[in-house]
């Protein structure tokens, strides 16, 4: 008996899957997903940094960083940072640290889902990013700033691209549950 004839009689030969159509990966989805992962890493560092500062004198730590980085203490933003630090206690730092880490996890889920081109990840990004647009627009109208405008623009372009992508290229995954006959 030949090897080919033997393979047709094996009990698991009916389990062979049909080959899927090979698609080129969407580079824009990959770029958005990679950006989400990078931003998630930044947030993860900030969250663990905040947790690391619990129980320490925040103003003393900030003063050490300002001196180490040779930043002008009279800078308006540094002054605001010191004012905020003076009102921060351990409980707030715990809260901010854990919320920042949780938000980093959301960014990781979004990024990995987009890189893998998952349908649910596109909707997740649309809902999460789209929910921030009204607040960003409100703050931009109250006080215009260049970086805030860039974030709003990138956020709106990302949501717009993903909505277009879902509407023109995607179909929801078919349910594996069979509909009951009436």
Who contacts 55 (Cβ-Cβ below 8 Å, separation ≥6)? 90
Task: State whether 67 and 139 are in the same domain.
Answer: no
Are 72 and 108 part of one and the same domain? yes
- Grade residue 10 by pLDDT with cuts at 50, 70 and 90: low
Q: Is residue 106 part of a domain?
A: yes
- Last residue of one domain, picked from the residues 91, 116, 141: 116
Instruction: Answer yes or no: are the C-beta atoms of 112 and 37 closer than 8 Å.
Output: yes
Residue with tokens 């580079």: 27
Q: Is the pLDDT of residue 7 over 90?
A: no
- Number of other residues whose CB lies within 10 A of the CB of residue 162: 23
C-alpha distance from residue 176 to each of 66, 171, 179 (Å) = 57, 15, 9
Asked if the structure places residue 101 within a domain, the reply is: yes
Q: Are residues 110 and 34 in the same domain?
A: yes
For residue 11, the model assigns a pLDDT of: 59
Q: Which two tokens stand for residue 20?
A: 């899927």
pLDDT exceeds 60 at position 2: no
Q: How many domains does the chain have?
A: 2
Model pLDDT for residues 78-134, shown as the tens digit of each residue: 899 889 888 888 899 999 999 999 999 999 999 999 999 999 999 999 999 999 999
Based on the fold, state whether residues 44 and 112 are members of the same structural domain: yes
Q: What's the confidence (pLDDT) of residue 41?
A: 98
Tens digit of each residue's pLDDT (9 = 90 or more) over 123-154? 999 999 999 999 999 999 999 999 999 999 99
What pLDDT sits at residue 46? 94
Q: Pick from 55, 15, 32: which is nearest to 164 by CA?
A: 32
Please tell me the distance from the alpha carbon of residue 28 to that of residue 171, in angstroms, as a whole number.
19
Instruction: Give tens-digit pLDDT for 43-87.
Output: 999 999 999 999 888 888 888 888 998 888 888 888 998 898 888
């Amino acid at each position: 008996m030949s090897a080919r004839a033997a393979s047709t009689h094996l009990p698991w030969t009916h389990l062979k899957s049909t080959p899927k159509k090979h698609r080129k990966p969407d580079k824009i989805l990959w770029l958005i997903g990679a950006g989400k992962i990078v931003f998630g890493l930044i947030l993860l560092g900030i969250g663990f940094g905040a947790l690391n500062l619990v129980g320490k004198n925040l103003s003393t730590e900030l003063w050490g960083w300002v001196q180490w980085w040779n930043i002008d203490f009279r800078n308006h933003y540094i002054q605001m940072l010191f004012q905020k630090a003076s009102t921060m206690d351990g409980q707030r730092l715990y809260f901010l640290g854990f919320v920042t880490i949780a938000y980093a996890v959301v960014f990781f889920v979004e990024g990995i889902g987009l890189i893998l081109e998952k349908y649910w990840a596109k909707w997740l990004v649309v809902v999460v990013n789209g929910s921030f647009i009204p607040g960003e627009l409100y703050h931009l109208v109250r006080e215009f700033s260049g970086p805030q405008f860039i974030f709003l623009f990138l956020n709106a372009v990302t949501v717009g691209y993903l909505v277009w992508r879902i509407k023109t290229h995607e179909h929801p995954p078919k349910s594996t549950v069979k509909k009951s006959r009436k």
